[in-house]
Structure 1
Amino acid sequence: MTDQVIKLNTESFEELYQKEGKLVVRLWAEWCGPCKMMSPIYNQVADNIADEKLIMGEVDIDAFPAIATKLGVRGIPTVVIFENGKEVNRSVGLMPAPELQKLILKE
């Protein structure tokens, strides 16, 4: 487990996604096999690229279903990328670290 990935709840999600900069959110659930496989990949990418201008967080959709509903999540794992409060990219499903990093850093 990395300390670069912030566990988000409804309040912290609302606060962070409206901030200036980039927020990457992984939506997952404990019972989801692909989500478990994606977890170390997401953490590895966070260790490589997360900083004060690029925040990486995660949301357990069973604990905070309102976030998943608000974002229109239909399948997990889902990674949603926000920049300055607006969604700029999204990916559903398992992906390798280089592909995930490229998706996040896309300008």
Structure 2
Amino acid sequence: MSISKVRTGNVEEEESSVAFSIKPERNLLAAVLARAICDAFGSAQCDRHVVRSARQWLFGKLTPSRAFSFAWVAQHLDLDPIALQQTLRSYETNPEMIQERLSLLR
């Protein structure tokens, strides 16, 4: 792990390469993905159009060149969109498993 020193005004901070990989933008994308999964599979009462919209986003055509599409978000989170879609589809036949995992997102 490399350590570099950054001088900001009079404050000297040490940041590791791990700290550089944790970015607010990445957290935002993770939150978008988590919200879509919760909306698509969650047990909370959601409007039908919210569930339908989330499922369309998760299971629609993969368009990695389109900003904020499912595939684009997955790739920016270093996830394989095809494998992620397959995993999410498997939860449709095993709703107990997805409920356990969704509890980790809440």
- Give the TM-score, by structure 1 length: 0.34
Q: Give 1 or 2: higher strand fraction.
A: 1
Which structure would you say has the larger Rg? 2
TM-score by length of 2: 0.34
